[in-house]
Amino acid sequence: MSEIKKRLSSIIESPNHDTTDKLQKICHLLDQEIPYFNWTGFYFKNGDKEELILGPYVGAATDHTVIPFGKGICGQVAVSNQTFVVPDVHEQDNYLSCSIDTKAEIVVPIIKNGENIGQIDIDSHTLNPFTQEDREMLEWLCGEVAGIL
C-alpha cells in the first residue's frame, strides 16, 4: 500500500495542477490500482446547506449529485463524522443505490479545522472487500486532501 501512498502524495503535492485536477487524478489512481474499487468519488458540503454535492469521480454516472445530510451512507457520514464501512449494502436500510452492481461501500470524511467539509466515497462490486489497510490509507488520504482544500 505504501507505493500507492507515495503516488497519491506526489499528486497532492504537485504544483502543476489545480485542486479539481488533483482530486480527479486521485480517483483515477485508486480506480486503476485497486481492482475492487469500482466507483471512486468525492462529495463536498454545499456551502451552509445540509447537503453534499458531487465532486470529481471515476465510474458510472450517478443520479446522486446532491445528497441530503442523513440520507444514504454518504449522508450518514456527513452527520457522524466517522468512517463508515458497509460490507454488504443490502443489509443497510438507509442505503442509496447508485448501481445494481454495488455490493459494498466505504465512505471516509474529510475533516478540516474540526469541520466535516466532504468525503471520499468508494463503491465495490465485491462483497466485503475493504481491508483495514484500505481504511487506514483512505483516512490518511482524506487528511492529506483536507490540507489542499
Q: What is the pLDDT of residues 111-147, one digit of tens each?
A: 999 999 999 999 999 999 999 999 999 999 999 999 9
Q: What is the pLDDT of residue 109?
A: 98
Mean pLDDT of the chain: 95
Which residues are CB-neighbours of 31 under 8 A, at least 6 positions away?
Answer: 37, 38, 40, 58, 59
15 pLDDT exceeds 90?
yes
63 and 100 in contact (C-beta within 8 Å)? no
What residue segments make up the domains of the chain, in order of their start?
2-146
Question: Would strands 84-86 and 66-68 be described as parallel, antiparallel, or unpaired?
Answer: unpaired
Rounded CA separation 107/77 (Å): 7
Beta carbons of 31 and 8 less than 8 angstroms apart: no
Summarize the confidence of residues 73-89 as an average pLDDT: 97
User: What is this structure's pTM?
Assistant: 0.96
CA–CA separation, 40 vs 37, rounded Å? 7
Assigned architecture for domain 2-146: 2-Layer Sandwich (3.30)
